[in-house]
Amino acid sequence: MDVTVADAPAEYDAYRERLRTFVAAHVPTLEWAPRTGARMPESVADLEKLRDWVAALHDAGYILARFREDAADPFEQRILETELAGTGIPYILGNPLVSGALKAFGTPEQRRRYLPPMARGDHIWTQLFSEPDAGSDLTALQTRAARDGDDYIVDGQKVWSTWAPFADYGYLLARTEPDPGPRGITAFILDMRSPGVETRPLREMTGTADFSEVFFDGVRVPAANLIGATGEGWKVANTSLAAERGGVGELGSDDALRGLVRLARIRRQAGRPAIEDSAVRQQIAAYAARARIQRALGFRVATKAARGESEVWDAPLMKIWASELNLETVEYGLALQGPRSALSEDDPLVVDGGRWQDAFLYARALTIAGGSNEIMRNLIAERGLGLPREPRGM
């Protein structure tokens, strides 16, 4: 199929310049250094600066399509995402996965109540899907929501929830029906300040605590907070997870490639810059070629979506390709450093402030986020290609 990726017409140059001027005037200076992946600020002071930044963008009319119910100009959106991503500063606070669920399954009142504050940074959300025994296989989740009058009472545990300590609301999947598997799951909006909600940060091998586990003990959730109907949670979740997998698939690789080139110029091998070694140049070129394929895949998937021709393997394919390329790229960045790759980021001799070490430690998580790559390959094979289902464990 033809891939439609038209360059922004010249009349959008003024929009880009206005946006750049606005960003230069409002982008915050943080104590926290943003890193690769779904990372969380480490202080309330930085969080408040980020809230002011996101609110300023919103109030100036720079609103992402994922939070809008009207039709967004595609060229303006592309420019907006590109310019904001270039700042290296978060411009979405929390996990916005629920926005797709609300737009597809939420009531008009839910969309009016939650989408604008999410876009403005007034409400921070966390995702409450995975459990200790239900990660990529969410159909095994055991958190329960029992009907009690106009409420549901929730008991259980979630894990790997980003932004949970700062979150105002959670996008919750819980089992409401006696049916096993996906048929018994329902999606909820959960007020994270409700009695019975406990959040415990998880310290990761990166040294940061960007994920948390969340416990529910008799938490009351109004029935009005259902997203979709009871028992439709699996359908609701898959709609929003497709967006997350596409988001992982849109991981920027240009910065990593430029970083590899800079690294190869300053690192020396056999008494000369590593970039002068033809093998090094060929390896970086191979990553660059794969990055261009990633970009073409993204444009192709976007074109298919615009035409209403999306297929089940689109987002999973992008997710696998991008996350594995990212992992290999940062591994090569460490290889170029030789023995210095073993240094911690606070060592005075560490290269690039330790960005490669941190990115490497986080990169494996991106092969799991949104469904592990193994699950994604099964999804492509079974639902996309119609191959026999893999035997399930007992």
What number of CA atoms fall less than 13 Å from residue 31's CA on the CB side? 8
175: confidence class by pLDDT, cuts 50, 70, 90: very high
The pLDDT score that the predictor gives to residue 4 is 56
More confident position, 298 or 212: 212
Residues in the chain: 394
Q: Is the pLDDT of residue 389 over 60?
A: yes
Q: How far apart are the first and last CA of the chain?
A: 42
**82-131 confidence digits (pLDDT tens):** 899 888 899 999 999 999 999 999 999 999 999 999 999 999 999 999 99
CB atoms within 10 A of CB 86: 13
Of all residues in the chain, the percent with pLDDT exceeding 70 is: 94
The pLDDT score that the predictor gives to residue 249 is 44
The pLDDT score that the predictor gives to residue 113 is 97
Q: Is the pLDDT of residue 299 over 60?
A: yes
Q: Which domains does the chain have, with CATH numbers?
A: 10-92 (no CATH), 125-231 (2.40.110.10), 250-384 (1.20.140.10)
242: confidence class by pLDDT, cuts 50, 70, 90: low
**313-364 confidence digits (pLDDT tens):** 888 888 899 999 999 999 999 999 999 999 887 889 998 888 899 889 889 8
Q: Tokens standing for 93?
A: 């606070």
Question: Which residue, chain included where needed, has tokens 């639902």?
Answer: 383
The pLDDT score that the predictor gives to residue 306 is 66
Q: Is the pLDDT of residue 243 over 80?
A: no
- Classify strands 169-175 and 125-128 as parallel, antiparallel or unpaired: parallel
Q: E strands, the chain, where?
A: 125-128, 144-148, 151-162, 169-175, 185-191, 197-202, 211-222, 226-227, 268-269, 272-273
Query: H-type helices in 199-354, by residue range?
Result: 233-249, 254-266, 278-306, 314-337
The pLDDT score that the predictor gives to residue 393 is 56
More confident position, 313 or 277: 277
**34-85 confidence digits (pLDDT tens):** 777 778 888 999 999 999 999 999 999 999 999 998 888 888 988 998 899 8
Q: Is the pLDDT of residue 201 over 80?
A: yes
The mean per-residue pLDDT over the stretch 279-307 comes to 86
Mean pLDDT score of the chain: 89
The mean per-residue pLDDT over the stretch 200-219 comes to 91
